Amino acid sequence: MKYIKYFEAKETTYELLDKYEEDIIKVLSKYYSTHTADLCDQIDELIWNSSEDAAERLEDIEVVDEECVRMLVNDLKSGGTRNIETLLDIYYDCRPFVKLVSEDLTHKLQEIFYDYSDDAKAFRILKTSKFNDDRYEVHIAMKDIFFKINFEEVFGRIKDLGFESYSVNGVKNGSTENMNLEFWKPLTKELRDELGIDEE
C-alpha cells in the first residue's frame, strides 16, 4: 500500500477516504485532464471495475471530470477496502505530477498553436508524466491545419519557453491524419526532489 508512505496515519482506509475525499476528486480529475500516462489507464480501470455510474459518465463524456470521480468515491464507500486502497495509491502517485502542471505554460503553448486556428478541436495540449522530465504533448487533429503552420516559427517560440528537445510523429488512420508533437526539458532540482527522482 504505497499511500501509507504519504499519509503516515493510523486511520482506516474508510477514514482516509473521508478525510481526503475532496482533494482526491480534484487531483484525479486534474491529472486526467492534463496528462497522458499509465495512471490514466489505472483510473479508467478502477472506474470500470468499481462504479457503474462513473463508468457510464466516462463513456458519455470521454473524460474523467470531478463529478465522475465523485461518483466513484461514493460507490467505493459502500464496498470493500481493496478498491479504496487502489484509489489512495493512484491519488498518492498523481499528487506530485498535478503540482507540476504550469497553467501559464499550457496557456502559452495554446497561444502559439491557436495563432493558426481558433478551432478548439484542432489542437489538444497535455502534460505527460511518462518520463522524468517536464514534457508536453500537442496533438494536431485536422489535416488542413498542417499546411498553415510555420513550424520554424513554432519551434523558435517553443524554444523561447525553455524547451530543449522535441519530436514529431505523423499518424494516418484511414482518411484521418494526425500529428503528435512532444516538447521537453529537464526538471528543476526542486521538482526532482519533490517527486523523489534521483539525479542521473
**What local confidence, expressed as pLDDT, does residue 21 receive?**
94
E strand or H helix at 32: helix 13-34
Strands 123-128 and 134-140: antiparallel
**What local confidence, expressed as pLDDT, does residue 79 receive?**
82
State the SS3 of 130-156: CCCCEEEEEEECCHHHHCCCCHHHHHH
Return the exposure string of 142-177: e unless at least 16 CB atoms fall within 10 Å of the residue's CB, then b: beebeeebeeeebbebbeeeebeebeeeeeeeeeee
Top-confidence residue, 126 or 188: 126
Q: Please report which confidence band the pLDDT of residue 75 belongs to, taking 50, 70 and 90 as the band edges.
A: very high
State the SS3 of 44-82: HHHHHHHCHHHHHHHHHHCCCCHHHHHHHHHHHCCCCHH
Q: Name the segment(s) of the chain with CATH classification 3.10.28.
A: 103-195
In this predicted model, what pLDDT tens digit does every residue of 155-176 receive, in sequence order?
888 888 888 888 888 877 666 6
CATH code of domain 103-195: 3.10.28
Judge whether 17 and 92 are in contact, CB under 8 Å.
no
